[in-house]
Amino acid sequence: MKNWTDAQSFCRQTHSDLVSVRNQKENQQVQKFINDHKSKDVWIWIGLFRVRDPWQWSDQSNSSFRDWAPGEPDIVGKLKNCTLIGPNALGQWYAGPCNNSQYPFVCHEDKLILIRENLTWPEALRYCRQNYTDLVSVHSEEMQEEVMNVVKRASTEAVWLGLRHSCILGLWYWLSGETVCYQNWAPGNGTVEYCAVRSGAVQSGGDKRWISRPETHKLNFICSRY
């Protein structure tokens, strides 16, 4: 039981952040989680807040999905700048004052973790395998969207992925074992004219497409818990 600000601090210290709800599927997942863990008639904090319009997510997720109850957000003349899931069966959202009331809250743990250290690709691979699971493999459009939410906070112009070129096979592959079926290459990338050790990265700006770089370049990187 905490106010929104203290709940945000707690989540950031112990997990990742207050939960973001970026689409209807995640909305249903959060609602199920709440229903499995609470008694009736309980309000629940989530990570949506505003300093001024527009509303934004605590973890900087880029999503305009909202599930406001009718008449919400009711902020006219009131300091209601944080978001609660209501106790009704629909689980719709309500604006509430951030620091006046204490309620339960939902934290989430990111599956993708941006590491803002500048390492070569082999160094980044070693770091992820020692501390998490692996460098991230982006084998679907859905995973690319997750990467795009994470990579915008990078301090380098590109960020290492778990993408590698094999000279022997003459193709790109993911560390997770998949060949590169879904593709998001920037123009002029994705082909290797001669046999060279190349690794894949994603642009941190622009339209965040994939690029090919020598493995000795030092970049930020994304580890995965998947």
For residue 125, give the nearest of 189, 200, 190 by alpha carbon. 200
Any idea what the CATH number is for the domain that residue 42 is in? Answer: 3.10.100.10
Indicate the residue among 42, 73, 108 that finishes a domain. 108
Same domain, 26 and 82: yes
Alpha-carbon span 101 to 98, nearest angstrom = 7
Indicate the residue among 64, 85, 108 that finishes a domain. 108
Confirm if 148 and 208 have CB atoms less than 8 A apart: yes
Same domain, 65 and 168: no
Alpha-carbon span 114 to 117, nearest angstrom = 9
Q: What residues make up the domain containing 219?
A: 112-224
Same domain, 159 and 119: yes
Same domain, 67 and 88: yes
Residue 62 confidence (pLDDT) above 80: no
Task: Write down the pLDDT at residue 210.
Answer: 97
Same domain, 116 and 197: yes
Alpha-carbon span 90 to 226, nearest angstrom = 31
Same domain, 12 and 103: yes
Same domain, 101 and 32: yes
Tens digits of residue pLDDT in 102-138: 999 999 887 899 999 999 999 999 999 998 899 999 9
User: Strand, coil or helix: what is 149?
Assistant: helix
Collect all residues with Cβ–Cβ distance below 8 Å to 205 and sequence separation of at least 6: 152, 157
Of the chain, the percentage scoring pLDDT greater than 70 comes to 97
138-152, 166-180, 203-217: range with highest mean pLDDT: 203-217
Same domain, 11 and 90: yes
Same domain, 12 and 91: yes
Confirm if 149 and 61 have CB atoms less than 8 A apart: yes
Q: How far is CA 217 from the centre of its chain?
A: 25
Alpha-carbon span 181 to 138, nearest angstrom = 10
For residue 6, give the nearest of 72, 84, 102 by alpha carbon. 102
Cis before 187 (ω within 30)? no
Q: What share of the chain is helix, strand, coil (3-state, %, to 5)?
A: 20, 30, 50
Q: Is 35 exposed, middle or buried (0-12, 13-18, 19+ CB in 10 A)?
A: exposed
Collect all residues with Cβ–Cβ distance below 8 Å to 107 and sequence separation of at least 6: 10, 11, 14, 15, 16, 17, 18, 19
Same domain, 185 and 205: yes
Same domain, 71 and 130: no
Beta strands 198-203 and 210-214: pairing type? antiparallel
Give the residue carrying structure tokens 């210290």: 13
Indicate the residue among 108, 129, 145 that finishes a domain. 108
pTM higher than 0.85, yes or no? no
- For 43-68, what is the mean pLDDT? 90
| Average pLDDT of the residues of the chain | 90
Alpha-carbon separation of residue 150 from 54, 133, 154, 176 (angstroms): 20, 17, 8, 19
Same domain, 72 and 139: no
